[in-house]
């Protein structure tokens, strides 16, 4: 599992993500189970799941190294209210989890 933390402006409701790699080097392909994006805006925390369950590898599966993933609309998107207020009203902290 790889986890990335990004500070950015709000991207609004996320519906799709595009993930790819350049295929450089031997053994550069990898299997992606899902991408989970967690973010906090104001007092709300959100989690959006983008299932994949495919290879990003030119020698595995269908040979593609790029995938466009759509958010899971069937119960995996979670909205929770948090206590406290963010001191960054227009800045959002995203946690991106790649489950490989």
CA distance linking residue 16 with residue 92, whole number of Å:
18
Domain that holds residue 44: 15-99
Task: Give the pLDDT confidence score for residue 68 in this predicted structure.
Answer: 93
Q: What's the domain count of the chain?
A: 1
Task: Give the pLDDT confidence score for residue 63 in this predicted structure.
Answer: 92
Does any domain span residue 2?
no
Does any domain span residue 30?
yes
> What is the tens place of the pLDDT at every residue in 34-88?
888 888 777 778 888 999 999 999 999 999 999 999 998 754 444 443 334 443 3
Task: Give the pLDDT confidence score for residue 9 in this predicted structure.
Answer: 81
Does any domain span residue 48?
yes
Question: Which of 4-13, 15-24, 71-80 holds the top average pLDDT?
Answer: 15-24
Q: Residue 21: which region, alpha, beta or left (left: phi > 0; alpha: psi -120 to 50)?
A: beta
Does any domain span residue 91?
yes
Does any domain span residue 3?
no
Confidence band for 93, pLDDT divided at 50, 70 and 90: low
């Amino acid at each position: 599992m790889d986890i990335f933390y990004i500070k950015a402006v709000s991207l609004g409701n996320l519906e799709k993500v595009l993930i790819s790699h350049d295929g450089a080097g031997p053994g550069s392909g990898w299997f992606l189970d899902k991408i989970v994006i967690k973010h906090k805006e104001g007092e709300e925390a959100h989690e959006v799941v983008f299932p994949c369950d495919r290879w990003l590898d030119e020698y595995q599966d269908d040979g593609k190294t790029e995938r466009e993933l759509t958010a899971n609309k069937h119960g995996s998107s979670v909205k929770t209210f948090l206590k406290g207020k963010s001191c960054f009203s227009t800045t959002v902290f995203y946690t991106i989890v790649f489950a490989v």
